[in-house]
A and B are shown apart, each in its own frame.
Chain A
C-alpha cells in the first residue's frame, strides 16, 4: 500500500516525539559540555535568604539548620543550593547544622558537606554539625522538641557523639538561637516546618525547592511565613552568584567577605568560564572593568549557573516546539475552512 505523503503543515502538527527528544537532549547536553557566560539576575526571595544567613556572620549565639528532605533524583536542582549555602556559612563563619528525615538523604548530607568544606578550615562539632538521619516517624517530636532544647531532642550527632557539650552548641539551645531553618525538598515537606516550628516557636523558615513546587509555595512567601525561597536551579544559580560576589570577596577592608549591597549586585557580574573568580564591573558609561582574583572558581561553585545555560536553551526549544505546533494547528484549521 502506498503511503500518503504528509504535507509540511501536517508534519508541523504531528512531529514524531523521538525528534523532540533528540532536540531536547542536544539542547541540554551541549550547554553543559560547553559553558557560556550569561547574566544571572538575583531575585528578592533568594537575596532575603542570603541576607538572613549573612546577618549571623561571626556570631556565636546564632546558627542555621539545613534540613535535607529529598533523594538523589532532585539533586541537580537542590544540591547546588546546599553546597552554596554551606559555602556561604564556611566563608562567613556562620554555625550550620544539618539534619534529614529520609534515609536516602543521609549520604547526600555527607556528600554536600564534603564538597563544600574542601578548601576551608572547618571542623565538625565546632563550625558545623551533622545531626544525621532520624526516622520520619520522629519528625514531629524532633521539630517540636528542638523548640525547647535541641540537645534533648536529638541527643547525638550522625557519628553517635553526644551533642550537648560540643563547642558548636555553646549559646545554641533552641529556635531562638538556631533561628533559620532551610528545608530542601521536591515535596511539600516545608509545610511541616511552617506549621510546627514557625507557628509554635516563631522560627524563621526558608525553602529550597524544585521548580515544579514553586507555585505551591508562593502563598507562604507572600504571607511572610517563609523568609525566602530558592526556586529551582534558578534560585541555586542566584545564590552561587551572591556567594561569589559577597561572601567570597576579599580585600583589605573586607578580609572575610563583604556585606550584601543591592548597588554592588547591580554593577557586578561573575563569568563562569574562568578558572578564577573575576568580577566584571559595569561602569556608568557602559564600559566594563575586570577585577581578577586568586580565588578558585571550582566546578561545584558554578554548577547551577552552567545548568541554567542548559535550562535556558531547553526552555527556548520547548517554546519553539509550542509555536511550531500552533502554526501547524492554525494552518490546518485555515485549510479546512477553505475547503
Chain B
C-alpha cells in the first residue's frame, strides 16, 4: 500500500493535468483553481520538513560529538539566530536580519563565487594546449569569445565582437539545440514512464 497509493496519486493527477492542458472546459479550469489552493496550502510544510530534517541531522552529530560536530553547531546556531532576528525585528533596512545578510551572507557567497575566476585562470593555463586541430579550434574560439566580451576586443578590431557573436550564434547554438532537443525527448519519455507507472524510482526503496 505504501507504494500503490503514491503511485495512484501520481498517475491520476498526472493524467488530469495532461487533460487540463488540452481541454479548456469549465471543469478543467475549476480543477486547476482547486489545485492552486492546495499547492499554496501544502508548500509551507516543505519548510517545516526542511527545518526538522536539518535539526535531526545536525542534532544527532552534536549529541554524539561526531567528527567536525562544531560545524553542525554553527549551522544550527546560524539557523536559529537568523530566523529569530527575522521574526523579532523584521527584514527591513536597518534590522539585524538585513545586517546579517549584508555583512555575513553577501560577502561569504560572493567570495565563494569569485574563486571561480582564479580556478578558470589556472585551468585555462594548464589545460588549453593546442595539442590537436580540435584543441586549436577550441583555443582560438575561447580567445575570440573572451576578447569579444570586453571593450578591448572592439578596440583591437570591430570584427572580434562580430566573430564572437557568430561563434555563439551558430556553432554554439547548433550544439545547444541538439542537446536541448535530446533532453526534451528524454523528458517526455521519462514523464510518460512515470505516468504509466513504469518508472518508480522516485518512490524510493522499501515496501
Contact = CB atoms under 8 A, between A and B. Distances in A.
Nearest to A211: B149
A20 B121 contact: yes
A158 B39 CA distance: 20
Interface string A25-57: 100100000000011110100000000000000
Nearest to A25: B118
A20 B142 CA distance: 19
Interface in B161-188: 161, 165, 168-169, 172-173, 176-177, 180
A135 B43 contact: yes
B64 to A, nearest CB: 30
Classify the interface of chain A: helix, strand, loop or mixed: helix
A74 B112 CA distance: 10
Interface stretch (A257-265, A275-283, A317-325): A317-325
Contact of A314 (B112, B117, B143, B177): B117
Contacts of B150: 234, 308, 311-312, 315-316
Contacts of B77: none
A137 B42 contact: yes
Contact of A21 (B109, B122, B129): B122
B110 A322 contact: no
Interface string A51-79: 00000000000000000000111111000
Contact of B155 (A39, A311, A326, A330): A39
Contacts of A214: 168
Contacts of A324: 125
Interface in B74-118: 91-93, 97-98, 101-102, 105-106, 108-110, 112-114, 117-118
B129 A325 contact: yes
Contacts of A1: none
Give the interface residue-count category, chain B.
35 or more
B112 A73 contact: yes
Given A73-B113, A75-B110, A316 B152 contact: yes
Contacts of A137: 39, 42-43, 46
A232 interface: yes
B161 A41 contact: yes
Given A75-B110, A141-B35, A316-B152, A218 B102 contact: no
Contacts of B44: 135
Interface in B32-47: 32, 35-36, 39-40, 42-44, 46-47
Contacts of B142: 322
Interface in A305-339: 308, 311-312, 314-319, 321-322, 324-326, 329-330
B47 A135 contact: yes
Nearest to B21: A200
Interface residues of A, number: 58
B151 A141 contact: no
Interface stretch (A104-112, A164-172, A176-184, A292-300): A104-112
Given A215-B176, A219-B173, A326-B128, A17 B122 contact: yes
A74 to B, nearest CB: 6
A189 B133 CA distance: 36
B147 interface: yes
A40 B151 contact: yes
A167 B176 CA distance: 44
Given A20-B125, A319-B146, A135 B151 contact: no
A9 B150 CA distance: 30
Given A137-B39, A137-B46, A106 B91 contact: yes
Given A21-B118, A110-B93, A321-B121, A135 B110 contact: no
B129 to A, nearest CB: 5
Contacts of A76: 110, 113-114
Nearest to B136: A326
A215 B161 CA distance: 15
Given A24-B117, A216-B176, A232-B149, 17 more contacts: A20-B121, A21-B121, A28-B117, A38-B151, A39-B154, A41-B161, A43-B161, A73-B109, A75-B110, A107-B102, A110-B98, A137-B42, A219-B177, A311-B149, A311-B150, A319-B147, A321-B125
20 contacts: A21-B121, A23-B121, A24-B121, A25-B118, A38-B152, A39-B154, A41-B154, A106-B91, A110-B91, A111-B102, A114-B93, A137-B39, A141-B36, A218-B176, A219-B173, A315-B152, A316-B150, A322-B124, A325-B126, A326-B128
Q: Which 9 A-B pairs have the closest CB atoms?
A: A137-B43, A72-B109, A73-B113, A73-B109, A312-B150, A321-B125, A107-B101, A72-B106, A135-B43
Interface of A: 15, 17, 20-21, 23-25, 28, 38-41, 43, 71-76, 104, 106-107, 110-111, 114, 135, 137-138, 140-141, 144-145, 153, 211, 214-216, 218-219, 222, 232, 234, 308, 311-312, 314-319, 321-322, 324-326, 329-330
